[in-house]
Amino acid sequence: MTTLPAFGRRSALGVAAAGLFAPLGAARGQQPTIRVGAPLPLTGPLAPEGIKQRNGYDFWAAAANARGGVDVAGTKHRVEIVYADYASNTPRAVQTAERLITQDRVNFLFSPFGSGAAKAASSVNERYGIPTIAATASSEQVYDQGYKFLFGTFTPNSTLTEPLAEIVTGANPQVRRVAVLARNDLFPLAIGQEMVASARKRNLQVVFDEKYAIGTMDHASAITQMRAQRPDWVFATGYTNDLILIRKQMADLGLRAPVVTMIAGPAYREFISATGRQAENITSAAWWHPAVRYQGQDLFGTTESFNQAWEQRFNAEPDYAEASAAAAGAILQMAIEAARTIEPAKVRDALAAMDATTFYGRVKFGPTGQITSLEPPVFQIQGGQPRVIFPQGIKQADLRFGVG
């Protein structure tokens, strides 16, 4: 594997109106470079998620550069990812995205982590006409703003809650009482609301539906209230550190249920390592799983090839956030090569017209820019591993009931 791009290098060139989008190095006779800005939460409470995205972007950049770069009408362009840490602060994410465009002269952007920051920053890339791919934003509110330059690799939140609700109620009609606890942030709130809708659609009783503040370090009150409601199904949303804490406090306070679902932490090995046996039988859903199998047209080729290369580099299976970040780079590369230019409007049009299979799955964006072509897997932690229980074509295990 080639050396990964350096992190966070800054350009002092400023913005030149006539040459803002020109590839660096071309005027000096060097190999031209495509610069992709990546504002990420590399410190603060969302750092685990930000680091996953960084790994995925770096993995794509290294793979592209190992092949000589991105082919732009017969000329190979080297990829450089320009990182900026916004320290898990959404207003700072917006400022960082603008600085990457105006000061660092990036040609394209990857969105900040999550739906909330991606939505907040999307006005910036729209204003400057910069094609941007959001690798971790699923909430429809991110994409319903009428913007033309934003594209996302996650399907809407209902594509996770609907199959979950169908599987659970189909397997056990005695599951009737649902408790929902959601982080007060755009994505967790939105998917919590989708769970309430999926439950009520099946005539389940929502006995608890509350939110917790960002940065909450003690969930004892909410968990005690949920326990009093005797739920058959506990559904908690948030990010990795949130859900680790919630799961541990559930065990400490004796909240047990036939079904416990958490989104999105259980997809990550960090969650399983931190919670140990308490992770067993927790259900979740994600937009990708290493068990999927696609014959990709992208630089990674098949899903198996991507998984093998990732495991060789990181000595671990990729998770959905890492795969989505790598896919965002691969998708951007395919659009640039199809457009035969790095001119922003033409690359944007190539993204809008894309209908191609990658290692990550079929990529076709809907009219709002959100991907519409994936069927997200549902899985359950069994034997310390996420085992797919849906869809049928990649099913690895049957649903188990009982979380202590």
Give whole-number Cα distances, 245 to 54, 215, 230, 341, in Å.
24, 11, 21, 47
**Interhelix angle 186-201/158-171, nearest 10 degrees:** 40
Give whole-number Cα distances, 71 to 33, 262, 338, in Å.
11, 41, 9
Model confidence at 2, in pLDDT bands (50, 70, 90)?
very low
| pLDDT for 380 beyond 50 | yes
Give whole-number Cα distances, 321 to 51, 68, 137, 176, 371, in Å.
10, 26, 10, 32, 15
- Yes or no: say if 131 and 335 are a contact pair by the CB < 8 Å rule: yes
Enclosing H/E stretch for 224:
helix 220-228
Shortest CA distance to 211 belongs to which of 179, 247, 240?
Answer: 179
Rounded mean pLDDT, 304-311: 98
CA distance 312 to 321: 18
Condensed to tens digits (0 to 9), the pLDDT of residues 227-250 reads 999 999 999 999 999 999 999 999
| pLDDT for 365 beyond 60 | yes
- Yes or no: say if 347 and 335 are a contact pair by the CB < 8 Å rule: yes
pLDDT at 23: 54
pTM (2 d.p.): 0.85
CA distance 390 to 285: 9
